[in-house]
Structures are given as structure tokens and as C-alpha cells.
Amino acid sequence: MSLLKARIERLCRYGTLSLIYVDIDNFKKINDLLGHNYGDELLKSVARRLSAIAGAANVIARIGGDEFAIVVDSDESQNTAQKIAEEVVKEFKIAFGLRGDSYVVCLSMGIATLHDEATSEFDLLTQADLAMYSAKSARRVDSISAYRHFTMDLSTRAMHEIERQQELQYAIREGEFLFDYQVIVDAATQREAGVEAILKWQHPERGLLTAEEFLPFAERTGFGPQIGAVAMESALRQFSVWRTRGRAPEYLLIKVSLSQLIEGDIASLALRWLRVFDIDPTALHMELAEGEIHGGGELLKTRLKALRAEGIQVIVGAFGARAASLSLLSSQLFAGIKIDRKLVRDARKDRPTLIVFEGIVHVALNLGMSVVVDGVDGVDQLSWLRQYQGISAQGEVVPVITAAALEQDR
């Protein structure tokens, strides 16, 4: 920071100087999965590669646990900074060798250039930091590094994000999250099998928000584990109320995220509340989306095995929404799957998709897994599913127990 300040003072605000703020994506996961010694080795490897790209004419410093800054001091600093960022994107497609394996490391970069609105080292660092976070959130391909130049609209956007984070903090503290509950029925007999807790947020100004409207932002800004903890207690408390009244279905299904399982350790929280409410762990089913599974590595496997040992059932959500990995079925880490609604819809009009659908159902059932079909939107679709013995269904065709109805019931 002293060097950056000196360079800025020397330029007297009329020269040209740019700063590249560099962040290693998901470095905490690498540390957790491999250990800090290997994390340190990876940091050194990243630093060496960045130094080679930046060149001796530019200053590079490590300014945080997994953050670096590159000071570009030249006649065309903004163009030079962009060329460096482009070179980083290209060179970091090449994997690092570590622990006898290969790891591709992705970086998010923000570029800020000295101008009238950035007259100090702190201004420049803040603006480059904002640009870096913008690059991280706008990335389209997870396996490729990304960069972005600072623009003034990012400051406005940053203030908006801060306000949203404050709203989430308030919502967690004041208990603004609630659940609707969607019944899951046996497709053949239409007998009630379970109930899924569907998270919502009673926002004081925007009204009732679905999870899709706030959870992605909450996960990105680190609030996922806190919301998951509050949600788990609330859902199990309601399930306990139903049990005392003799109205509880066989199981409660609640969606969880990778961050909740790994960073928040929602497994331990769930076990604690199961003991408090005297609920058999086999009555709790957790749903983890297929798209999140592959990013969990060995730590996720450890968490899943621990849950299975306790009797908690974990199922794969949105199965078949992407290039579904059938190896998940034989991994013995999951107790069931929830088949994505699009796969089911397409199976009724496309024979190749029907063969895939029937194959998934056949394999899962033969492995002793539960199968739920999501998004059943009509009686005719439910009737069509009756030919498949042993599967369950949920969607518009089955009832939803709203939070408002629960309040009246109490």
C-alpha cells in the first residue's frame, strides 16, 4: 500500500496507473479438501505463474489469504492491465500438479485505473475489488478465469448489494423466513408419503418471495449456512407438531445446499433438533441438487457417509436436468433421487427420453433408492405415472399446505 501510494503521488493524478485485484476462486474448498500444507504449495505456484505473466516491470503483491494485487505503471496502463488479465485467463487454463493430481485454478480479476474519482490508493483498491466481485458473479463458465474493468455503476450496484445483505441479516434475526409444505404422494395409490418444506421469505416491503428469488444471492454472499440453520429448526418444529397431533406424514423433505453441508455443517444441527423434538432420523430426508454434488469432493463424501450412518436420507435433486451422472446411483452415498420435471415431461412425447427415464427409475429402484418425480402438473400426468410401481410424485396436482393455513391451524 505504501508503494502504491508513492506511485500515485509521483503521477500527481495526471499520469496513468492501473491496479489488478486478483482473487483465487474457491480456495477455501481446496484448503478444506487437501489441507493447509497443500493449500500453501498451491498459493506459491499461483504466485509464480502470476509473477511470470506480470513481468518484472510491474509490482505484484499478496494482499490477503488468497488475494493478490498487480500494480501496472506504464504509459498505457489500462491497455497493459487488460493484456495481463487476458494472459492470465489463457495461462490459468493449464492445470497445476499437486498431490499427484491435477487442479485447474480459476481467478477473478478486477481492473481499476487512476482517474478523478480514484485519487488515493484506497479508492483504487476499492474500485478494483468491486470490479473483481462483478467479474466473479458474472462468470458464465466456472472453469475459466474472468476479469472486468471498474465502471461507476458498480459503486451503485455495490451499495444495493450491501442493502440486500443487511435485509438478509435482519430477516434471519427477526424470523422472516417461513415454509409452505407440499405433499408427496405415491404415484400408484395416491397415498400420502411425505411432505416437502418449501422455503419462502416474508419480505416487509416486497411481499412473499420464493427461494429462487433470494437464495442464490444469499449463497453467494455467505448467508446460506445461517438461513439453512434457521430453516432446519423451523421445519422440524412443524413436523414435530404434526406428530403430536397424529397427522405427520412418513417423512419430511428439505432442500440443502453444498455450503450448508460443508461450511455450516447442517448435519450436526439437524441431529441436534431431531433429538430435541424426538424425531427418528429416518424421517428426515435432505435434497441436494445434482449440480452441486461434483463440487464437494472428499469432504462432501465424508458428510454424506456420516448422515447415512445416522439414518438421515439424502436424495439427489433435479436428477436428469443436466448430463446426469449414473455413477451417483451406485455410489451408495444417496438414499434416493428426485427426477427433474423436464425429463418427465419430455419422456411422454419422445421415445429416446422415455427409455432414459425408465432406465433411471429401474436402476434406482433396484438399488433400493426412493424415486420422486417433480413437477407433476396435471391429473393425466399423474395417471401416466401409475404404471411405475414404487415411485412418488409432487407438483401442482398434489396439495400445498401454506404458511398462512398453518397459522390458522395453530
Residue-wise pLDDT for 152-164, tens only, equals: 888 777 778 878 8
pLDDT at residue 409 greater than cutoff 80: no
All three cell numbers of 202, joined, read: 416474508
Domain boundary among 151, 177, 200: 151
Spatial separation of the C-alpha atoms in residues 158 and 110, rounded to whole Å? 14
8 A C-beta contact, residue 312 and residue 286: yes
pLDDT at residue 32 greater than cutoff 60: yes
8 A C-beta contact, residue 124 and residue 19: yes
All three cell numbers of 104, joined, read: 485447474
Q: What is the pLDDT of residue 64?
A: 87
pLDDT at residue 341 greater than cutoff 80: yes
Between residues 101 and 274, which one has the greater pLDDT?
Answer: 274
Spatial separation of the C-alpha atoms in residues 222 and 259, rounded to whole Å? 8
Q: What is the pLDDT of residue 142?
A: 66
Q: What are phi and psi of 237, to 5 degrees?
A: -65, -45
CA dihedral 358, 363, 364, 365 (to 10 degrees): 90
* Over residues 166-190, mean pLDDT: 91
pLDDT digits (tens, 9 = 90+) for 62-95: 998 899 999 998 778 889 999 999 999 999 998 8
Q: Of 40-44, 156-160, 166-170, 267-271, which gets the smallest average pLDDT?
A: 156-160
Q: What is the pLDDT of residue 167?
A: 93
Residue 221 and residue 115 in one domain: no
Residue 98 and residue 203 in one domain: no
**pLDDT band at residue 233, thresholds of 50, 70 and 90?**
very high
Using CA atoms, how far residue 240 sits from 29, 235, 258, 260, in Å, is 35, 9, 26, 22
Residue 114 and residue 189 in one domain: no
pLDDT at residue 8 greater than cutoff 60: yes
* Over residues 25-44, mean pLDDT: 82
Domain boundary among 151, 180, 212: 151
Q: What is the pLDDT of residue 82?
A: 93
Q: What is the pLDDT of residue 26?
A: 80
8 A C-beta contact, residue 158 and residue 150: no
CATH code of the domain containing 280 = 3.20.20.450
Domain membership of residue 10 (yes or no) is: yes
All three cell numbers of 256, joined, read: 440443502
Note if the pTM is more than 0.75: no
CATH code of the domain containing 132 = 3.30.70.270
Q: What distance, in Å, lies between the first and last C-alpha atoms of the chain?
A: 59
Residue 170 and residue 126 in one domain: no
pLDDT at residue 117 greater than cutoff 70: no
Q: What is the pLDDT of residue 38?
A: 84
pLDDT at residue 53 greater than cutoff 80: yes
* Over residues 322-346, mean pLDDT: 81
Between residues 140 and 228, which one has the greater pLDDT?
Answer: 228
8 A C-beta contact, residue 184 and residue 195: yes
8 A C-beta contact, residue 286 and residue 264: no
Task: List residues bridging with 71 in a β-sheet.
Answer: 19, 59
Q: Which helix (H) or strand (E) holds 35?
A: none
**C-alpha 18: how far from chain center:** 32
Domain membership of residue 285 (yes or no) is: yes
8 A C-beta contact, residue 69 and residue 60: yes
Average pLDDT score over the chain: 86
How many domains does the structure of the chain reveal?
2
Range(s) of the domain holding residue 76: 2-151
pLDDT at residue 151 greater than cutoff 80: yes
Residue 208 and residue 80 in one domain: no
Domain boundary among 151, 181, 203: 151
**pLDDT band at residue 39, thresholds of 50, 70 and 90?**
confident
Residue 180 and residue 54 in one domain: no
Q: Which residue matches cell numbers 444441527?
A: 269
Domain membership of residue 127 (yes or no) is: yes
pLDDT at residue 406 greater than cutoff 80: no
Between residues 181 and 297, which one has the greater pLDDT?
Answer: 181
Domain membership of residue 84 (yes or no) is: yes
pLDDT at residue 145 greater than cutoff 60: yes
pLDDT at residue 115 greater than cutoff 60: yes
pLDDT at residue 15 greater than cutoff 80: no
Residue 19 and residue 110 in one domain: yes
User: Among residues of the chain, what percentage have pLDDT more than 90?
Assistant: 43
pLDDT at residue 307 greater than cutoff 80: yes
**pLDDT band at residue 9, thresholds of 50, 70 and 90?**
confident
pLDDT at residue 46 greater than cutoff 90: yes
Q: What are phi and psi of 295, to 5 degrees?
A: -90, 0
pLDDT at residue 311 greater than cutoff 90: yes
Most confidently modeled of 33-47, 53-67, 193-207, 332-346? 193-207
User: Among residues of the chain, what percentage have pLDDT more than 70?
Assistant: 91
Q: Which helix (H) or strand (E) holds 203?
A: strand 192-203
pLDDT at residue 383 greater than cutoff 90: no
Domain membership of residue 387 (yes or no) is: yes
All three cell numbers of 287, joined, read: 435434497
Q: Which residue matches cell numbers 398434489?
A: 398
**pLDDT band at residue 227, thresholds of 50, 70 and 90?**
very high
Residue 71 and residue 125 in one domain: yes
Domain membership of residue 156 (yes or no) is: no
Q: State the DSSP string of 336-373.
A: EEEE-HHHHHHHTT-HHHHHHHHHHHHHHHHTT-EEEE
Domain membership of residue 157 (yes or no) is: no
Residue 121 and residue 254 in one domain: no
> How are beta strands 313-319 and 284-289 bridged, if at all?
parallel
Spatial separation of the C-alpha atoms in residues 353 and 341, rounded to whole Å? 12
Spatial separation of the C-alpha atoms in residues 213 and 203, rounded to whole Å? 11
Domain membership of residue 174 (yes or no) is: yes
Residue 29 and residue 147 in one domain: yes
**SS3 state at 394:** coil
Residue 117 and residue 173 in one domain: no
8 A C-beta contact, residue 89 and residue 139: no
Residues ≥6 apart with Cβ < 8 Å to 298: 33
* Over residues 289-300, mean pLDDT: 79
Residue 228 and residue 95 in one domain: no
* Over residues 366-374, mean pLDDT: 93
